[in-house]
């Protein structure tokens, strides 16, 4: 059964997403970070390159016209949801996309939600959609923590 984990009330989503990716990679997961669009993808790529040398996370930007880059553990992408995705990949969704609507469901989706009221309302819709698709859902309220 696929899983969706929601981290809500995150005060700095960019810093939190980097820490979350580091934790997932340390747990031997392969991670696909999904951005809202090309501009957000370019900013994410920049943010990952701007990390200090000891915190650097090797990654690759994936263009859908190319095969999925299996040789790297961290992949960044955006656009329409891919037709095929390996079950071993954890998706960090930083977009408004509903991964429960993907042609092939990932085993795990991570959702980061700021404390913005519009973001929280959208997260409720995604929460409901994941639940209706049979995802096991976990919620972590990060108020005052992140």
For residue range 102-119, what is the model confidence (pLDDT) as tens digits?
Answer: 888 898 999 999 999 999
pTM of whole model > 0.85? yes
What CA–CA distances, in Å, run from 66 to 37, 99, 137?
18, 21, 32
Closest residue by Cα to residue 119 from 11, 3, 4? 11
Q: Is 108 exposed, middle or buried (0-12, 13-18, 19+ CB in 10 A)?
A: buried
8-62 residue pLDDT tens? 999 998 889 988 999 998 887 899 999 999 999 999 888 888 877 777 888 999 9
What are the b/e assignments for 81-107, b being 16+ CB within 10 Å? bbeebeeebbbbbbbebebbebeebbe
Do 99 and 2 touch, CB atoms closer than 8 A?
A: no
């Amino acid at each position: 059964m696929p899983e969706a984990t929601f981290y809500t009330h995150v005060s700095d989503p960019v810093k939190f997403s980097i820490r979350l990716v580091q934790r997932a990679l340390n747990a031997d997961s392969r991670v696909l970070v999904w951005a809202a669009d090309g501009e957000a993808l370019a900013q994410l790529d920049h943010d990952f390159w701007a990390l200090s040398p000891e915190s650097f996370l090797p990654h690759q930007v994936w263009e859908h016209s190319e095969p999925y880059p299996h040789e790297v553990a961290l992949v960044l992408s955006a656009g329409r949801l891919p037709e095929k995705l390996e079950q071993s990949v954890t998706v960090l969704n930083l977009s408004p996309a509903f991964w429960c609507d993907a042609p092939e469901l990932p085993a795990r989706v991570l959702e980061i939600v700021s404390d913005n009221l519009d973001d929280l309302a959208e997260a409720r819709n995604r929460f409901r959609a994941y639940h209706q698709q049979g995802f096991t859902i976990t919620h972590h309220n990060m108020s005052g923590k992140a």
